[in-house]
């Protein structure tokens, strides 16, 4: 029990339609009254204030990552292929200490600025290809017809996979996200397929098929290197160290799960929030050099990755709560980014914010995002194309906006708009 009368926060229901759409009042209530609280439904301590979130991210010895995203159940027939879950222990997010550091410096080789900048022409072509029919039609869904296929197509090409794989990659990304949502992994651990729904089994089947395909691609790239990210991961060498096939496969699946929906939601929400502040829309339309700040402020205002988990390695007091060793902590950087103690008037988009670069929407510390350069470039290219090709955009999507029921990601289901 804590000194503040927590640990529970009455009314916290993060998967309710209301709080998926507008989590800000309940996050503010928590920050003001009970900044670190226990959410029994998920078995996690939830952390909402900026200073507490930063403290966690900067102290990986007390708040470890290892296995925090694995551990969900996998049907018996696939347990050999995914012994530690779909989000495997080869993924960076599940590794700690030296093991994580070694793997991350190798992975970063695939995302150095010169390599990322070479992705730009393909992104520009793709943005135009997707917008061509929308310009003609005068209206459409900016999530399903633009932002989602844009980030999927970008990552498909960036990985060095054929465009024809984009549909499978979109499906597998969704499958993995659904499998990883709490409550969606409740099959019987010891009894074959029992307890899994047909839908869950089909999702596992597709992820397994994709993983097998990925293994053949990795083997091909070992013998025939190319410009893509998979090849760069396979051939990265530092001090004689290199990534194994398991590492690369785990990391590629991780990049799909971490990088598609997040970047698409950054693009969609930038359009949405700018359209609600017409003076801001006009300023950006007149000065595309503002786009990088739009991207940054959107990642702060509506952080596409809401928050992931850490495990307390010792008893620790945080924000007035006493967290016992071994328990899971949900680190809500999305809440931290709208904490008024750090960002005054946090729900308004302000491109001139002085501390804009202190947001934690791409994380901080050792597990900081691997892909911010890619994500920022995607944002600038996609939004630049929207301004250039669509002109003034009017959002016609009915309010309240609808989001997929995810604890860790913001996932807007559609964003209807018109233009011209
Ligand atoms: C707007 C888009 C994106 C946002 C908001 C975002 C956000 C984040 C955040 C908050 C973390 C930290 C997780 C933690 O500390 O537990 C993270 C990690 C990560 N992100 Fe991103 N991300 C984005 C795009 C991407 C892209 C495009 C990629 C693909 C290359 C990517 C790959 C990763 C990976 C591999 C990690 C794990 C890094 C580690 O554990 O060391 N992300 N991301």
Complete domains list, the chain, with CATH: 17-419 (1.10.630.10)
Per-residue pLDDT reduced to its tens digit, 324-364: 999 999 999 999 999 999 999 999 999 999 999 999 999 99
Place of tokens 């053949």: 216
Within 188-244, where are the H helices?
A: 198-223, 229-235
Phi, psi of 311 (to 5 degrees): -115, 130
Token duo for residue 62: 């007390």
Atom of ligand 1 nearest to the CA of 310: 16
Among protein residues, the one with the nearest Cα to ligand 1's atom 19 is 369
Cβ atoms 377, 116 nearer than 8 A: yes
Q: List, as one string, the DSSP characters of 304-358.
A: SB--EEEEESS-EEETTEEEPTT-EEEE-HHHHTT-TTTSSSTTS--TT-TTGGG
Tell me the three state secondary structure of residue 20: helix
What is the predicted pLDDT for the residue at 7?
81
| Ligand 1 centroid to residue 258 C-alpha, Å | 5
Q: In which band, very low, low, confident or very high, does the pLDDT at 172 lie, cut at 50, 70 and 90?
A: very high
Place of tokens 């670069």: 357
Looking only at the bridges linking them, the beta strands covering 328-331 and 44-47 are parallel
Least Cα distance to 134 among 378, 393, 379 occurs for 393
**How far is Cα 365 from Cα 384, in angstroms, rounded to an integer?**
30
Among protein residues, the one with the nearest Cα to ligand 1's atom 6 is 362
Among protein residues, the one with the nearest Cα to ligand 1's atom 25 is 259
Whole-structure pTM value: 0.95
Per-residue pLDDT reduced to its tens digit, 225-237: 999 999 999 999 9
DSSP label at residue 401: P
Atom of ligand 1 nearest to the CA of 265: 1
Query: Quick check: 271 pLDDT over 50?
Result: yes
Q: Which residues is 408 bridged to in the sheet? A: none
Per-residue pLDDT reduced to its tens digit, 153-165: 999 999 999 999 9
Q: List, as one string, the DSSP characters of 14-64.
A: TTSHHHHH--HHHHHHHHHH-SEEEETTTTEEEE-SHHHHHHHHT-TTTEE
**How far is Cα 177 from Cα 199, in angstroms, rounded to an integer?**
13
What is the predicted pLDDT for the residue at 179?
82
**How far is Cα 177 from Cα 91, in angstroms, rounded to an integer?**
15
What is the predicted pLDDT for the residue at 1?
43
**How far is Cα 222 from Cα 208, in angstroms, rounded to an integer?**
21
Query: Quick check: 4 pLDDT over 50?
Result: no
Query: Quick check: 6 pLDDT over 90?
Result: no
**How far is Cα 218 from Cα 75, in angstroms, rounded to an integer?**
25
Query: Quick check: 28 pLDDT over 70?
Result: yes
**How far is Cα 420 from Cα 398, in angstroms, rounded to an integer?**
20
Among protein residues, the one with the nearest Cα to ligand 1's atom 30 is 371
Which residues have C-beta atoms less than 6 Å from ligand 1? 92-93, 104, 254-255, 258-259, 262-263, 266, 299, 304-305, 308, 333, 361-363, 367, 369-371, 374-375
What number is the average pLDDT over the span 127-146? 98
DSSP label at residue 241: B
What number is the average pLDDT over the span 368-372? 98
Query: Quick check: 186 pLDDT over 60?
Result: no
Q: In which band, very low, low, confident or very high, does the pLDDT at 385 lie, cut at 50, 70 and 90?
A: very high
Angle at 268 between CA 382 and CA 376, to 5 degrees: 45
Q: Which residues is 393 bridged to in the sheet? A: 419
Mutation choice for ligand 1 from 369, 372, 408, CB with most ligand atoms inside 8 A: 369
What number is the average pLDDT over the span 372-378? 98
Q: What percent of the chain has pLDDT over 70?
A: 95
What number is the average pLDDT over the span 381-400? 97
């Amino acid at each position: 029990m804590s000194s503040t009368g927590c640990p529970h926060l009455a009314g916290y229901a993060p998967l309710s339609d209301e709080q998926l759409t507008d989590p800000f009042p309940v996050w503010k209530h928590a920050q003001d009254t009970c900044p670190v609280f226990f959410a029994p439904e998920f078995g996690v301590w939830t952390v909402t204030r900026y200073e507490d979130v930063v403290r966690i991210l900067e102290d990986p010895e007390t708040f470890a990552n290892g296995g925090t995203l694995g551990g969900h159940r996998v049907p018996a027939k696939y347990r050999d292929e995914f012994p530690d879950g779909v989000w495997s222990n080869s993924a960076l997010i599940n590794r700690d200490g030296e093991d994580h550091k070694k793997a991350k410096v190798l992975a970063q080789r695939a995302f150095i600025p010169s390599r990322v900048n070479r992705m730009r022409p393909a992104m520009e072509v793709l943005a135009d290809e997707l917008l061509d029919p929308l310009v003609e039609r005068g209206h459409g869904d900016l999530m399903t017809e633009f932002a989602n296929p844009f980030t999927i197509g970008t990552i498909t090409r960036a990985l060095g996979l054929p465009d024809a794989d984009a549909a499978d990659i979109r499906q597998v990304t969704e499958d993995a996200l659904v499998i990883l949502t709490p409550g969606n992994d409740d099959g019987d651990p010891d009894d074959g397929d029992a307890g899994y729904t047909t839908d869950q089994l089909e999702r596992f089947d597709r992820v397994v098929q994709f993983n097998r395909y990925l293994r053949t691609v990795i083997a091909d790239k070992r013998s025939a290197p190319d410009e893509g990210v998979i090849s760069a991961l396979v051939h990265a060498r530092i001090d004689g160290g290199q990534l194994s096939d398991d590492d690369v496969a785990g990391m590629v699946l991780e990049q799909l799960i971490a990088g598609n929906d997040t970047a698409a939601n950054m693009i969609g929400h930038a359009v949405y929030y700018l359209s609600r502040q017409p003076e801001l829309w006009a300023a950006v339309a007149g000065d595309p050099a503002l786009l990088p700040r739009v991207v940054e402020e959107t990642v702060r205002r509506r952080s596409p990755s809401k928050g992931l988990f850490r495990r307390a390695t010792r008893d620790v007091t945080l924000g007035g709560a006493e967290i016992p060793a071994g328990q899971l902590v949900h680190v809500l950087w999305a809440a931290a980014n709208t904490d008024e103690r750090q960002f005054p008037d946090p729900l308004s988009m302000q491109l001139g914010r002085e501390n804009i670069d202190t947001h934690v929407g791409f994380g901080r510390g050792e597990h900081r995002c691997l892909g911010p350069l890619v994500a920022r470039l995607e944002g600038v290219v996609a939004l630049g194309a929207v301004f250039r090709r669509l002109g003034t955009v009017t959002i016609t999507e009915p309010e309240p906006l609808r989001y997929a029921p995810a604890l860790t990601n913001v996932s807007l289901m559609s964003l209807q708009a018109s233009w011209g």
